[in-house]
Amino acid sequence: MSRLVVGNDVVDLGQPRTRGRSEDERFVARVYDVDERATIREAADPDLEVWAHWAAKEAGFKVISKLLGAPPAFVHRAFKVTWTEVLSGSPTVGEVVRRGAVTYEDQRAHVTVTLHPGGVHAVGFGAPDALPETVPLHPSVEPLDATARPWSGELEELRQRFTPQELDAVYSRHSAAVRLGARAELAGAMGVDESRLEIVCDPGPTSQRPPRVLLDGSPAPADVSLSHDGRWIAWVLWWDPETETT
Ligand SMILES: CC(C)(COP(=O)(O)OP(=O)(O)OC[C@H]1O[C@@H](n2cnc3c(N)ncnc32)[C@H](O)[C@@H]1OP(=O)(O)O)[C@@H](O)C(=O)NCCC(=O)NCCS
C-alpha cells in the first residue's frame, strides 16, 4: 500500500471565542478567500461553516507539512478549502457533514469534517504518490477529563509514561493526554506491545512539530496526527495492515 500521511483538527464549539465569528469581518477576511467567504455567507449555519473550514485548513496544513517534509508558513488563506459534498438538512452528532479537499500550491489533502457533541473534527490524508482507492483511517475525539482512560491523571503522573524522546514534545496535560490516547489505540490496532511504540517529534518550536511514530526505535508503518482544544483531545491514525510487526 502507498504510504499515507494524516492530519486532524478539533475545534471546541463550547468556547466563547467560537461564537458569532462569521460576523467578525476582519477575522473572516484574514482567514478565508473570496470563494470560502461566499460559502460561509450562504450557509444555513455560518458559524458552523466558519469552523468546518477552519478545522479543514488546519488538518490540511498538517497533511501538507508532512508531504513537503517541513511545515510551510501557515497563512490560513493560502490553504484553500473546496467542498465536494455538503450534508443537507440538520446534521446529527457523529455524522460526516463535509467532504472535500484542501489545496496549497501544488499540494492536496483530502478532508472530511464530522460533527461531535460540542465540536467539529476534521480529518485529512494525502500521499506523495497515487492514493489507494480505500483509505482506512481511524479518527477519535475524546474528553480530556475522561476517567479510567490511558490519559486520565495529572500531568506529572502522565509524564512518567513517555520515553525521553517523546517527552521532549510534551508541554501540557493536553499534549500528554493526546499522545497517550493515540499511542494506546495504535498499539492495540497494530497488535504490538505499547512499549514498542513512540510518538516523537524532531527538534523545533513547541507545538509546531509534526509527530512521527517509531516502532522499536525505527519509523513505523503508520502515521498519527494530534489535536487538542478546550475539553477535547483528538487524533487520527493510519497503519499499513500489510506490514509485519512481529
Ligand atoms: C499546527 C498548528 C496550526 C496547530 O495549531 P492548533 O490548532 O493550535 O493546535 P492543535 O491542537 O490542533 O494541533 C497541535 C498538534 O499538531 C501537531 N503539529 C504541529 N505542527 C504540525 C505540523 N506542521 N504538521 C503536522 N502536525 C503538526 C502537533 O502534534 C501538535 O501537538 P502538540 O501541540 O501537543 O505538540 C500550529 O501549531 C502551527 O504550527 N502554526 C504555524 C505557525 C506559523 O506557520 N506561523 C506563521 C504565520 S505567517
Grid cell, residue 240, equals 499499513
Of 117-131, 164-178, 214-228, give the lowest mean pLDDT range: 117-131
Based on the number of CB atoms within 10 Å of its own CB, is 124 exposed (0-12), middle (13-18) or buried (19 or more)?
buried
Please give the pLDDT value at position 130.
79
**pLDDT (tens digit per residue) in 94-122:** 889 999 999 999 999 999 999 998 899 99
User: What's the average model confidence in pLDDT over 79-98?
Assistant: 90
* Atom number of ligand 1 nearest to Cα 75: 48
Strand order in the sheet with 107-116: 5-12, 119-126, 107-116, 96-104, 80-86
- Closest residue CA from atom 36 of ligand 1: 208
Measured CA to CA, the distance from residue 145 to residue 136 in angstroms comes to 28
Element (H, E) at 55: helix 46-68
Q: For 71-76, which contacts have Cβ atoms below 8 Å and span 24 or more sequence positions?
A: 71/208, 71/210, 72/104, 76/30, 76/31, 76/32
> Ligand 1 pocket check: which of 53, 58, 121, 208 to mutate, most ligand atoms within 8 Å of Cβ?
208
> Ligand 1 pocket check: which of 226, 236, 238 to mutate, most ligand atoms within 8 Å of Cβ?
226
Measured CA to CA, the distance from residue 238 to residue 135 in angstroms comes to 8
DSSP-derived letter for residue 25 is H
* Residue 187 pLDDT greater than 80, yes or no: yes
**pLDDT (tens digit per residue) in 35-63:** 999 999 999 999 999 999 999 999 999 99
Contact by Cβ (8 Å): 128, 67: yes
User: What's the average model confidence in pLDDT over 12-33?
Assistant: 97
- Closest residue CA from atom 3 of ligand 1: 58
* Atom number of ligand 1 nearest to Cα 228: 11
Please give the pLDDT value at position 27.
98
Please give the pLDDT value at position 84.
96
Is there an atom of ligand 1 within 6 Å of 119 CB? no
Place of cell 462569521: 22
* Residue 1 pLDDT greater than 60, yes or no: no
Type of residue numbered 77:
R
Please give the pLDDT value at position 3.
81
Is there an atom of ligand 1 within 6 Å of 207 CB? yes
R_g of the chain computed on alpha carbons: 18
Please give the pLDDT value at position 133.
66
Please give the pLDDT value at position 94.
87
Full DSSP string of 107-129 = EEEEEEEEEETTEEEEEEEE-SS
Measured CA to CA, the distance from residue 181 to residue 184 in angstroms comes to 5
- Sorted by where each begins, the domain ranges of the chain are 5-135, 142-239
What is the 84 CA–ligand 1 centroid distance (Å)? 26
Average pLDDT, whole number, for the chain?
Answer: 95
Give SS3 for 3: coil
What is the 208 CA–ligand 1 centroid distance (Å)? 4
CB neighbour list of residue 166: distance below 8 Å, 6 or more residues apart: 179, 198, 199, 200
> Ligand 1 pocket check: which of 5, 74, 207 to mutate, most ligand atoms within 8 Å of Cβ?
207
Task: Indicate the CATH number for domain 5-135.
Answer: 3.90.470.20
Contact by Cβ (8 Å): 199, 177: no
* Residue 15 pLDDT greater than 80, yes or no: yes
pLDDT-derived band at 93 (thresholds 50, 70, 90) equals confident
